[in-house]
């Protein structure tokens, strides 16, 4: 193995410690502790685990838990009413609607009830638009986590060739926009890209978020490149990413593992966004 491994677990811990310090300072300064409202609809076991972790780590950072759980058969109007109530509650700094919601609900319409200043998942149309325009706003958590890892490992972005595999609103698209904002030359690949390996081989920085286990192998990686694997797949032999870790580790310069790479960063950046939102709502800047 030639690649250095990016330790997302350690970086995420540092981010959470910084957030906890920020929360303590806000309160010591006469402010109010940030409140995070996670909203879970139904009983999907994976979503329950994600939400439980978000609640546990936010309270560990000194935040107030405003969790709400709605039954799987809740109606659209009732779910929207809950989000409106949280939007109006001054104790709630951030609202996170756990996705996906049950199929009968219009999740876009639900997200639209979350005011941009409380949209700590960064998925509202306003925050997505601000990002697209290169203006400040709350950023989606996983893409923000990817950028934080690149910064922590001092990966040069200005002028770099960056290739992003995937164009979802949740990951690929915002990652590409964040890399562009840092002056990388960005190419976005997707399911209709003709020769994926050939395009990926151009990359100094390759971010893979396609949702296909081991899609990217050593033939798609330029020697010495930085490779960030966003994918998560639960197999019989544990978790895997979208990148063939063992093969790519022989070629890449820097590489995220799965687990222990991007995964832990998502919640850490959610906490960072919630603190940012609370500060802004309390007139204490960014």
Q: Which residues are catalytic?
A: 54, 98, 121
Q: How far apart are CA 159 and CA 137, in angstroms?
A: 24
In the bound complex, what is the minimum distance in angstroms from residue 77's beta carbon to ligand NAD? 27
| Cis status, amide bond into 240, omega within 30 of 0 | no
- DSSP assignment of 230-247: ---EEETTEEE-SB-HHH
Burial state string for 13-37 with b = 16 or more CB within 10 A and e = fewer than 16: eebbeebbebbeebeeeebebbbbb
In the bound complex, what is the minimum distance in angstroms from residue 188's beta carbon to ligand NAD? 9
Residue 74 or 209: the one with the smaller Cβ distance to ligand NAD is 209
> Which residue of the chain is nearest ligand NAD when measured via CB?
168
Residue 230 or 248: the one with the smaller Cβ distance to ligand NAD is 230
| Cis status, amide bond into 110, omega within 30 of 0 | no
In the bound complex, what is the minimum distance in angstroms from residue 30's beta carbon to ligand NAD? 35
In the bound complex, what is the minimum distance in angstroms from residue 131's beta carbon to ligand NAD? 15
Spatial contact of 262 and 8, defined as CB atoms under 8 Å apart: yes
Residue 111 or 230: the one with the smaller Cβ distance to ligand NAD is 230
In the bound complex, what is the minimum distance in angstroms from residue 98's beta carbon to ligand NAD? 12
Q: How far apart are CA 196 and CA 190, in angstroms?
A: 8
Q: How far apart are CA 145 and CA 157, in angstroms?
A: 15
Q: How far apart are CA 176 and CA 158, in angstroms?
A: 13
Angstrom CA distances, 187 to 38, 135, 139, 202, 254, stand at 34, 21, 20, 9, 20
What residues does 68 pair with on adjacent strands?
39
Q: How far apart are CA 279 and CA 22, in angstroms?
A: 9
Sheet of 226-229, strands arranged across: 4-5, 254-255, 226-229, 205-208, 161-165, 185-189
Residue 79 or 196: the one with the smaller Cβ distance to ligand NAD is 196
Residue 181 or 197: the one with the smaller Cβ distance to ligand NAD is 197
Q: Site residues (CB under 6 A) for ligand NAD? A: 142, 165-168, 170-172, 189-191, 193, 196, 209-212, 215, 230-232, 262-263, 266
Residue 19 or 92: the one with the smaller Cβ distance to ligand NAD is 19
In the bound complex, what is the minimum distance in angstroms from residue 239's beta carbon to ligand NAD? 10
């Amino acid at each position: 193995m030639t690649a250095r491994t990016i330790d997302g677990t350690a970086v995420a811990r540092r981010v959470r410690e910084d957030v906890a310090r920020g929360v303590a300072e806000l309160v010591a300064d006469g402010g109010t502790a940030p409140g995070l409202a996670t909203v879970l609809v139904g009983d999907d076991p994976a979503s329950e685990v994600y939400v439980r972790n978000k609640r546990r780590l936010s309270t560990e950072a000194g935040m107030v838990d405003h969790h709400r759980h709605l039954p799987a058969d809740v109606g659209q109007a009732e779910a929207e009413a809950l989000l409106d109530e949280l939007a109006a509650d001054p104790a709630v700094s951030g609202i996170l609607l756990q996705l996906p919601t049950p199929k009968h609900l219009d999740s876009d319409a639900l997200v639209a009830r979350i005011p941009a200043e409380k949209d700590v998942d960064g998925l509202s149309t306003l925050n997505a638009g601000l990002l697209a325009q290169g203006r400040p706003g709350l950023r989606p958590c996983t893409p923000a986590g990817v950028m934080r890892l690149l910064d922590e490992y001092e990966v040069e972005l200005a002028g770099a060739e960056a290739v992003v595999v995937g164009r979802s609103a949740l990951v690929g698209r915002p990652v590409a926009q964040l890399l562009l904002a840092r002056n990388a030359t960005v190419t976005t690949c997707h399911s209709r890209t003709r020769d994926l390996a050939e395009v990926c081989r151009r990359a100094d920085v390759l971010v893979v978020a396609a949702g296909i286990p081991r899609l990217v192998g050593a033939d798609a990686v330029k020697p010495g490149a930085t490779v960030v694997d966003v994918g998560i797949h639960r197999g019989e032999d544990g978790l895997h990413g979208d990148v063939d870790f063992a093969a790519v580790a022989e070629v890449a310069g820097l590489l995220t593992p799965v687990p222990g790479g991007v995964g832990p960063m998502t919640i850490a950046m959610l906490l960072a966004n919630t603190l940012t939102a609370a500060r802004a709502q309390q007139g204490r800047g960014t």
